[in-house]
Structure 1
Amino acid sequence: MKITPSNKGLNGLSQTQAQAPKTQAAKTAKPQGPAIHNADLANVLSGASDVDMAKVNEVRQAISQGQLALDPDKLADAILALHR
């Protein structure tokens, strides 16, 4: 049995045939929608906050006044559920 080199890939296409559609698609792809720039994004996000500071201050006050009752079992369950 003689093994001869071939430029055919596993799918039976030559390397140039297999690459042709990708190259063609890359040449014809055009961006969709409005352009978004990093500076614009930074300006928008700089004013946004994921933390509700009013709620944080409310909880701080309740803790300092001893008005916040915590159930350790419920707290542990909530922490575990968050990480599942």
Structure 2
Amino acid sequence: MSKLASILLIILLLLLILINNVNCYSCDCSCCTGSGCSLVYQGTISVSTCASTICTDACKSKYTTCASGSSSAVCS
């Protein structure tokens, strides 16, 4: 493969990665377990949409404390 073809292939792959990430939303997850507990920030995950309970469901799936206790999920 020529050097020019290699460069074009790399550029194409980078563009595909960038386009893939354009349609993502950030979901900030905070959770706690127990009675009267304070929410603790767990992290941010990417979701495809902020519609419905997608963000909350993703937090509960990724973080076990969110699945069993109280949770707060903010999508932006």
Tell me the TM-score normalized by structure 2: 0.30
Report 1 or 2 for greater relative contact order, CA contacts < 8 Å, sequence distance ≥ 6: 2
Tell me the TM-score normalized by structure 1: 0.28
Task: State which structure, 1 or 2, has the greater radius of gyration over its C-alpha atoms.
Answer: 1
* Greater share of strand: 2
* Greater share of helix: 1
